[in-house]
Amino acid sequence: MYTGGEEVVHLTGDLGNASDGGSFSVSGVHYDKAMVKIENFFDVAGGRIAKKNNDKDKGQRASGIFPRPTSAIVRDALAMKDRVMEYNIFFNNCEHFASYLRYGEKRSEQADTAIATILIGGAVVVVGGLIRSWFNRKD
């Protein structure tokens, strides 16, 4: 979440002196907790191409969900500095964090897509197994 002055508030697995856990990894280190940090945008981007991303606004508006006022977003983001939070790739990840700040609701299209893919894949395996057992049964 860009706050101005080349600073961003973001959720990171780099907990400093806080304890670490085990559900996601950054450079091979696993965590189940993450920390809200304020850091320089260019340091966080690490030389990669990055852009302001309010692309979800149009789709959210179509659903009746509107961005919160910028001043409220920045105020709440800054107030969360150094907070250690539970991290879950499917239910409480970085996209959920940014969505919560911007819209007041935790949403992650990436996580929703992953969950749907896993569920559909599982259903295909189950149905495939049932069909196979039906064709292979001996009467």
99 and 133, same structural domain? Answer: no
129 and 101, same structural domain? Answer: no
58 and 28, same structural domain? Answer: yes
User: In terms of DSSP bridges, do strands 7-12 and 24-26 run parallel, antiparallel, or are they unpaired?
Assistant: unpaired
Which CATH number covers residue 65? 3.90.1720.10
Number of domains comprising the chain: 2
| 1-40 pLDDT, tens digit each | 888 899 999 988 777 654 444 444 554 555 588 899 999 9
118 and 84, same structural domain? Answer: no
The predicted pLDDT at position 51 comes to 76
64 and 113, same structural domain? Answer: no
120 and 95, same structural domain? Answer: no
Structure tokens at 130: 């049932």
Q: Give the domain extent around 38.
A: 2-107
94 and 58, same structural domain? Answer: yes
54 and 89, same structural domain? Answer: yes
Higher pLDDT, 49 or 29: 49
As a whole number of angstroms, the distance between CA 41 and CA 26 comes to: 18
77 and 18, same structural domain? Answer: yes
133 and 84, same structural domain? Answer: no
- Asked if residues 96 and 107 have their Cβ atoms less than 8 Å apart, the reply is yes
| 82-105 pLDDT, tens digit each | 999 888 877 788 888 988 998 888
As a whole number of angstroms, the distance between CA 114 and CA 38 comes to: 29
31 and 79, same structural domain? Answer: yes
124 and 62, same structural domain? Answer: no
